[in-house]
Amino acid sequence: MHGLEYLFMQAANGLVIGCLYALMALGLTLIFSVLKVINFAHGEFYMIGGYMSYFLVTVIGGVNPFVGVIFGMVVLLVLGSTFDYLFLRPMHRGDVDRPDEYAILVTFGLSFFLQNLVLAVAGPFPHRTPSFMEGGVRVGTFMISADRLIAAGLALVLMFALLMFIKLSWTGMAMRAVSQDRDAASVTGINPLRMANFTFALGAALAGASGALIAPIFSVVPDVGVLPSLRSFIIVVLGGMGSIKGAILGGIIIGLVESLGAAFVPDISRALAYRSLYGLMIFVLVLLFRPRGLFGEAQ
Amino acid sequence: MRRLSVVLFVIGLALVFATMAAASDTKEPIKIGVVLPMSPPGAYASGNPMWWAALQAAEEINAAGGLLGRDVVAILGDTRGVPEEARAATERLITKDKVVGVVGNYHSSCALAQLDLFKDHNVPYIGAEPWSDDVTAKGYKQVFRISITNSLYTDITVNWIKAAGFKRVAIIQEITDWGLGVNKQLKEAMNKAGIKNETAFSDMKTEDFTQTLARFNQWSPPVDMFFGSITGPGAFRIIKQAYDMGFAPSKDTVFYATNACLNPEVWEAAGKAAKYIVVTQIGLPPTAYTEVTKRENQKFKEKYGRLMNATVMEAYDSFMLMCEAIKDAGSTNPDKIIDALENIRWTGMRGEYYFPYGTKNPVPDDMPAYMWHQWPDVSEYLFQYTEVGQSPEDGTVIWPPKWSQLPKGQYFIPAE
Amino acid sequence: MKHIQIRKYILFGGGILIGALIPLVVTSSYWLHVFAMAYFYGLLAATWSFLDGYAGQFSFGNIALLLIAGYTSALLAKFTGLPFFLNLIIGVIASTLIGLIIGLLCLRFKGAYLALFTIAFAEGFRIIINTEHQITRGPAGLHADGFFETTSQVPYYYLIFIILVISIFIMYRILKSRWGLFFMAIREDDEVASALGVNIVRYKVIAFVVTSAFCGVAGVFYTHFNQMLTPNFGEIATMGLVIGMAIIGGVENLIAATIGGILLEFGLESLRELGAWRMVAFGAILMIVVRFARNGLIAPLYRKFIGEEV
């Protein structure tokens, strides 16, 4: 299998994984758009999603992996909401001098806390949830596993559902209102604190879904969220902070970049090891030359 | 808030001083330090069972009446696979816990970082699993080793590759200390033998190897042997990804895996993809097990639910060997222990231990420097899993010929 | 005023005196090693307090700058025959220069963007060091000679103690001067500061340069103290630890941050048996301090004793 077929399969692989990246990044960008907070614990929400799915499906057992994904999302909804209420509320209320920094610190502290909590409780050994489905789609000598396709498919479904929700539901409209102009929104009767809480929980749940969907493919360890966290930042900045379109497109772009980079960079001894660096380089370039990203507002 | 600060501050100070006070107490039991990677980024999957094995050894000794009339205690130093931490952990064991000897290590870089401490503080050390030649090649009086060395491992492995007729070898190599050392020597040996080889390095955190696997899958004629040299969480992932792609194990390409795949978790994570992988064990094949091997392995399985693999046995043996030396020496004096080790002959789980080259019999010029205080009878064998869910003991031994369960002239089992 | 001066002399003089006498009382080389590491982390916490607590620049790059100095020094030793001290100086210059470049690049970044950019820099640097293992030896570790021939911890203890005292003194004087006022103005609102005539470009860059220089000093110390460098020290978790130390001590108070670093490193080391639970507690304390005790835990004590904010 050579040439065009090879390129196509590598690209397809990148696209498929990119959907999962996009789902997680979407959560991050939503949180930013409504709360104006960059969530440094996003990777740990992803990690916990994976662990919760593993816990329900393998440890407790007798449950379908799809239910594991839902369970992961529910746990993160609760966790996200609780955290926002306990730690982010003073910031929303305006009681904090330097809210940007406050948000980074408190979410970073959460990330530290969660990562080590899971390490202390569950130990460092990797775990994997059972596959959604065995087998895969074979083209020539290349195969994309069924797990990946199903996970990507579900990610697309979730993203679609989310977009519909934001566009059509009352809560969705309220979220958009708060993200555009918080004070104006509160004048019209929307409770910005409640919107913030809801959005943070929702963003966390999206990260958790991504983690639970990927668990059968890549397995989970306590620090499995570190790389995806950084990747989400890259995607959100590339796409434009707060832009939903940007997060989805950015996720797919980064998925492709990582895949095609590892596949085509001529120096094979380094191509794979530098996988994360390709995205980081794009990140740095975007920050330096077009900080608002593809679809963000001009600063 | 101020009051809370004061309270926390005082508690903090108190903790510090209490610990310092507690640290300087009496030392009735005989303490032996065990340095291992117990948490990331070290190879904790190997380190943890090794620790259990050391504990098992300590328990047995105490149940049989102890050592020189005293209890023996294994004290853990977690190196995390990081040389600075390994050094700090060893420093702690020696100066704070006052251990009389140290055993262990999985990572060569950690062992190397500790050597000067053993020398300067005159503490005997038995290396359980660090492979770098330098560990013993440096010729320190205090340092002994019962594991294989990089050079020996490379020789045996490349001999197998040559016999099996592999001419095109592809490697994905994790960037870790042991990996880099082994990779360099393997490359040199394969280049010398005219075997085409290519290595793609990867970060420990890599989740997705498929792009690089697909690149190797493109080779025409195809890769004969693929070495998925990964020990972290990726160890099982890479098998599954390579298999799903139809790359390896396949009828064209043999998958050579690391000893991470000795763990039963390989089946949970990779399933039928791991069915024909080739794994190295540093030790005796089941057919050559001693009485000690069978007995201890059984005990371990009953307690921990899994059989010991070679590295775990090394941990048991190194701990026991240190205790035997103390018994022979009749004291915890380091020079006496070192002397006892140089003269020792003791049968453990992996054979009869002795160290032919030492202070009374220096390494001659025609022998490699690493033979200093090195157990010369370290054996290595390769086996292949032939059924899903198999334990390493049930796999088919394929090399060396003297132990191989394959018909003469066959050196591996091709996958279906 | 005089009141405060006297108290300061008591605190600093007393601290220096105690520090100088400790090795006479504590003979265990293990504990001296712990003290040395504690001073090292205290210095790092101070650099972070300097850059973020006073100048308002939230950077994740301190450890990377530290490693730049360390790797430069160790690699120079490996590949060239330059004298030891020259390697150290070049190492510090290297990290200062990189710090300067970062400072210049970051001028237009605000809040989270600065944090993100410096994370990218730190992580990118770590990946490169790891992957170019043919030169740097990656996780196998790059060897570096010690400062002293002996394995005794005593000279190292005094070395880092002196480095710490001098560094803190210099940073403290800078912060007490006009520059300090400019930093704080930039921290509060750099647009307003600019409107009031503060040259924000100049002072932001100065803040980065000073911080980087001290990170470099810490870096060459660390390298030749541990005599081995691996890239994993540059993981974001280490930076998080330093940030946590500065915050818990009191990020807007240089002395409090330093003391926070020293005490926390001591605490973490003493509680080693607890393993990962130490870090769980650390994370929890960090969150609680940020939420409920934003001035940190040591800073209020300092203020109470001295009677003034730094």
**Chain C nearest-CA residue for B182:** C140
- Say how many C-beta atoms besides its own lie within 10 A of residue C279's C-beta: 22
**C226 and B175 in contact by Cβ < 8 A?**
no
Q: How far apart are CA B272 and CA B267, in angstroms?
A: 7
**C236 and A112 in contact by Cβ < 8 A?**
no
- CA torsion through residues B264, B267, B273, B275, sign: positive
Residue A139 at interface with chain B, using a CB cutoff of 8 Å = no
Listed in sequence order, the residues at least 6 apart from B61 whose beta carbon sits closer than 8 Å to its beta carbon are: B67, B72, B320, B323
Residue position matching structure tokens 């328990």: B59
**Chains touching chain A, criterion 3+ CB pairs below 8 Å:** B, C
Closest CA to B182 of B79, B277, B280, B88: B280
**B39 and A259 in contact by Cβ < 8 A?**
no
Residue A57 at interface with chain B, using a CB cutoff of 8 Å = no
Please state which of the ranges A262-266, B121-125, B286-290, B295-299 shows the lowest mean pLDDT. Answer: B286-290
Contacts of B88 in chain C (CB under 8 A): 33, 226
**B201 and A269 in contact by Cβ < 8 A?**
yes
Count chain A–chain C contacts defined by CB atoms under 8 A. Answer: 117
φ/ψ of B282, rounded to 5, equals -95, 100
pLDDT-derived band of residue B242, with 50, 70 and 90 as boundaries? very high
End-to-end CA distance of chain B: 70
Q: Which of C291, C294, C295 is the mutation pick for testing A, counting most A CBs within 10 A?
A: C291
Contacts of C276 in chain B (CB under 8 A): 39
Residue position matching structure tokens 């990081």: B82
Q: Is the peptide bond before B400 cis (omega within 30 degrees of 0)?
A: yes
Q: Find the mean pLDDT for residues C177-200.
A: 89
Q: How far apart are CA A17 and CA B267, in angstroms?
A: 24
Q: Residue B65, SS3? A: coil
- Say how many C-beta atoms besides its own lie within 10 A of residue B95's C-beta: 20
Percent share of chain A, pLDDT over 90: 65
Regarding beta strands B196-202 and B396-399, do their DSSP bridges make them parallel or antiparallel, or are they unpaired? unpaired
Q: How far apart are CA C156 and CA C148, in angstroms?
A: 8
What pLDDT score does A58 carry?
87
pLDDT-derived band of residue B304, with 50, 70 and 90 as boundaries? confident
Closest CA to B1 of C262, C288, C52, A90: C288
Beta bridge partners of B104: B35, B127
Nearest to A263 among B203, B206, B211 (CB): B211
SS3 content of chain A, % helix, strand, coil (to 5): 75, 5, 20
Mean pLDDT over each residue of chain A, to the nearest integer: 91
Residue A268 at interface with chain B, using a CB cutoff of 8 Å = yes
Nearest to B177 among C29, C127, C139 (CB): C139
Residue position matching structure tokens 């083209």: A139
DSSP A298: P
pLDDT-derived band of residue B25, with 50, 70 and 90 as boundaries? very low
Whether the per-residue pLDDT at C167 is higher than 90: the answer is: yes
Beta bridge partners of B70: B67
pLDDT-derived band of residue B24, with 50, 70 and 90 as boundaries? very low
Regarding beta strands B346-348 and B278-282, do their DSSP bridges make them parallel or antiparallel, or are they unpaired? unpaired
**A1 and B218 in contact by Cβ < 8 A?**
yes
Percent share of chain A, pLDDT over 70: 98
Contacts of B172 in chain A (CB under 8 A): 272
Residue position matching structure tokens 């010369």: B376
Q: How far apart are CA A163 and CA A26, in angstroms?
A: 10
Q: Find the mean pLDDT for residues B15-44.
A: 74
**B91 and C271 in contact by Cβ < 8 A?**
no
What pLDDT score does C309 carry?
60
Q: Residue B34, SS3? A: strand
Percent share of chain B, pLDDT over 90: 54
pLDDT-derived band of residue B310, with 50, 70 and 90 as boundaries? confident
The residue with greater pLDDT, C43 or C190, is C43
**Chain A nearest-CA residue for C241:** A112
Contacts of B218 in chain A (CB under 8 A): 1-2, 6
Six-digit token pair at B95?
Answer: 């100066």
Q: Which of B6, B10, B19 is the mutation pick for testing C, counting most C CBs within 10 A?
A: B19
**C112 and A103 in contact by Cβ < 8 A?**
yes
Nearest to A263 among B198, B199, B214 (CB): B214
Count chain B–chain C contacts defined by CB atoms under 8 A. Answer: 106
Residue A263 at interface with chain B, using a CB cutoff of 8 Å = yes
What pLDDT score does C292 carry?
93
Q: Is the peptide bond before A216 cis (omega within 30 degrees of 0)?
A: no
Q: How far apart are CA C273 and CA B192, in angstroms?
A: 49
Within A123-243, residue ranges assigned H as helices are 146-168, 170-180, 182-187, 192-218, 226-239
Whether the per-residue pLDDT at A299 is higher than 70: the answer is: no
Q: Find the mean pLDDT for residues A62-86.
A: 94
Q: Which of A100, A121, A227, A285 is the mutation pick for testing C, counting most C CBs within 10 A?
A: A100
pLDDT-derived band of residue B22, with 50, 70 and 90 as boundaries? low
What pLDDT score does B305 carry?
82
DSSP B78: E
Contact of A21 with A255, CB cutoff 8 Å: yes
**Chain B nearest-CA residue for A265:** B212
Q: Is the peptide bond before B264 cis (omega within 30 degrees of 0)?
A: no
pLDDT-derived band of residue B19, with 50, 70 and 90 as boundaries? low
**B210 and A13 in contact by Cβ < 8 A?**
yes
Q: Find the mean pLDDT for residues B190-215.
A: 92
**C301 and B177 in contact by Cβ < 8 A?**
no
Shortest distance between the Cα of B272 and any Cα of chain C, in A, equals 32
Q: How far apart are CA A32 and CA A18, in angstroms?
A: 20
Residue position matching structure tokens 């006479």: C24
Mean pLDDT over each residue of chain C, to the nearest integer: 91
Residue A114 at interface with chain C, using a CB cutoff of 8 Å = yes
Shortest distance between the Cα of C124 and any Cα of chain B, in A, equals 13
**A221 and B202 in contact by Cβ < 8 A?**
no
Q: Which of C280, C282, C289, C292 is the mutation pick for testing A, counting most A CBs within 10 A?
A: C280
Regarding beta strands B396-399 and B380-384, do their DSSP bridges make them parallel or antiparallel, or are they unpaired? antiparallel
pLDDT tens for A129-150 read 888 888 788 776 677 888 899 9
Count chain A–chain B contacts defined by CB atoms under 8 A. Answer: 99
* CB half-sphere exposure, B119, CA atoms < 13 A: 14
What pLDDT score does B26 carry?
41
In three-state form (DSSP H/G/I as H, E/B as E, the rest C), the secondary structure along B119-162 is HHHCCCEEECCCCCCHHHHCCCCCEEECCCCHHHHHHHHHHHHH
Q: Find the mean pLDDT for residues B340-350.
A: 92
**A110 and C287 in contact by Cβ < 8 A?**
yes
Q: Find the mean pLDDT for residues A73-96.
A: 94
Listed in sequence order, the residues at least 6 apart from A111 whose beta carbon sits closer than 8 Å to its beta carbon are: A40, A41, A43, A44, A225, A229, C240, C283
Residue position matching structure tokens 């089941």: B286
pLDDT-derived band of residue C310, with 50, 70 and 90 as boundaries? low
pLDDT tens for B152-170 read 899 999 999 999 999 999 9
Q: How far is CA A182 from the centre of its chain?
A: 25
DSSP B264: T
The helix or strand, by DSSP H or E, that contains position B174, with its residue range, turns out to be strand B168-174
Beta bridge partners of B172: B200, B228
Q: Find the mean pLDDT for residues C14-21.
A: 92
pLDDT tens for A27-53 read 999 999 999 999 999 999 999 999 999
What pLDDT score does C1 carry?
60
Q: How far apart are CA A150 and CA A64, in angstroms?
A: 14
Residue A140 at interface with chain B, using a CB cutoff of 8 Å = no
End-to-end CA distance of chain C: 13
Whether the per-residue pLDDT at A105 is higher than 90: the answer is: yes
pLDDT-derived band of residue A1, with 50, 70 and 90 as boundaries? very low
Nearest to B244 among A145, A218, A223 (CB): A145
Long-range contacts (CB closer than 8 Å, 24 or more residues apart) made by A176-182: A178/A34, A179/A33, A179/A34, A179/A242
Phi-psi region of B333 (alpha: psi -120 to 50; beta: other; left: phi over 0): beta
The helix or strand, by DSSP H or E, that contains position C172, with its residue range, turns out to be helix C154-176
Q: How far apart are CA C225 and CA B45, in angstroms?
A: 30
Whether the per-residue pLDDT at B373 is higher than 90: the answer is: yes
Listed in sequence order, the residues at least 6 apart from B317 whose beta carbon sits closer than 8 Å to its beta carbon are: B128, B146, B348, B349, B350, B353
Q: How far apart are CA A5 and CA A253, in angstroms?
A: 20
Per-window interface: A 210-239 vs C, CB < 8 A: 226, 230, 233-234, 237
Shortest distance between the Cα of A262 and any Cα of chain B, in A, equals 6
Q: How far apart are CA B115 and CA A79, in angstroms?
A: 47
